[in-house]
Amino acid sequence: MSQTDTVHRILDAAEVLFAERGFTETSLRTITSTAGVNLAAVNYHFGSKKELIQAVFERFLTPFTEILNRELTRRGAASEPLQLDDLLQSLYRVALAGLASQGRDPKRFMRLLGLAYTQSQGHLRRFIVSRYGDSYRRFAGQLAAALPHVDPVTFYWRLYFMLGATVFSLSSFDAIEAILREDFGAESSLEETLARLAPAAVAMLTAPMPGVGSGQVPGASAPGGSTGDNR
């Protein structure tokens, strides 16, 4: 087995196991056993469990941000400023669908991203901010520019509400689709779900919210988990 094959087998096993069981619940021995390699191979190629987790995210985030940035550049080439629908089309129907076209499962990506929020993975947040923060700030900045009448704190909350809805809807897609099929006799594809998600996200971002004060967003940064560290 070549070194490249070994790396891919470790990453494939880690990706599936992390998404199914979580980061803290998945041991390196379980990963190496599933991948059919020895424990030394993980240490040799990745150095630690934290770096392996980061490498799993890198396989998703690098193509995702590349696709998103290309699409934002293409849409931004027009003389008119980007509208909310343009931005969400870039996020949902281009970037996420683009992952699928490259053989990366957007639903698994969302499950992993959801775990990054709910489990203590401070190293992962720092990695994402360092490596992909510029792409996130570009998208969030253009989104904020398309909502000039929304104060910064309200925008902060709505952005994370939108991201939370996206993570939940796609990470739980199989279960939600099964309920849809059982209760309504209907089916949905990933593309149809993304098409339904976009207008819901627009409504979430633009809905009136009377009675809530404004303020400044403290240290906005790329999403990627809580401030704790993996144990």
pLDDT tens-digit readout, 43-66: 999 999 999 999 999 999 999 999
**pLDDT confidence of residue 186:** 95
Please say whether the beta carbons of 154 and 209 come within 8 A: yes
Q: Give the integer Cα–Cα distance in Å for 142 and 145.
A: 5
Neighbours of 77 (CB within 10 A): 7
Percent of the chain with pLDDT over 70: 89
Indicate whether 2 pLDDT > 50: yes
The Cα 193–Cα 28 span in angstroms is: 35
What is the rounded CA–CA span in Å between residue 10 and residue 31? 7
Q: Give the pLDDT confidence of 137-187 residue by residue, as tens digits.
A: 999 999 999 999 999 999 999 999 999 999 999 999 999 999 999 999 999
pTM (predicted TM-score)? 0.83
Q: What is the pLDDT of residues 118-143, one digit of tens each?
A: 887 889 989 999 999 999 999 999 99
76, amino acid identity:
G
Alpha-carbon Rg for the chain, nearest whole angstrom, is 19
pLDDT of 70 strictly over 80: yes
Q: Which of 132, 102, 101 is nearest to 116 (CA)?
A: 132
Phi, psi of 178 (to 5 degrees): -65, -40
Joined together, the tokens standing for residue 169 give 């809807």
Per-residue pLDDT band for 25 (boundaries 50, 70, 90) equals: very high
Q: Which residues contact 57 (CB under 8 A, 6 or more apart)?
A: 112, 116, 124, 127, 128, 224
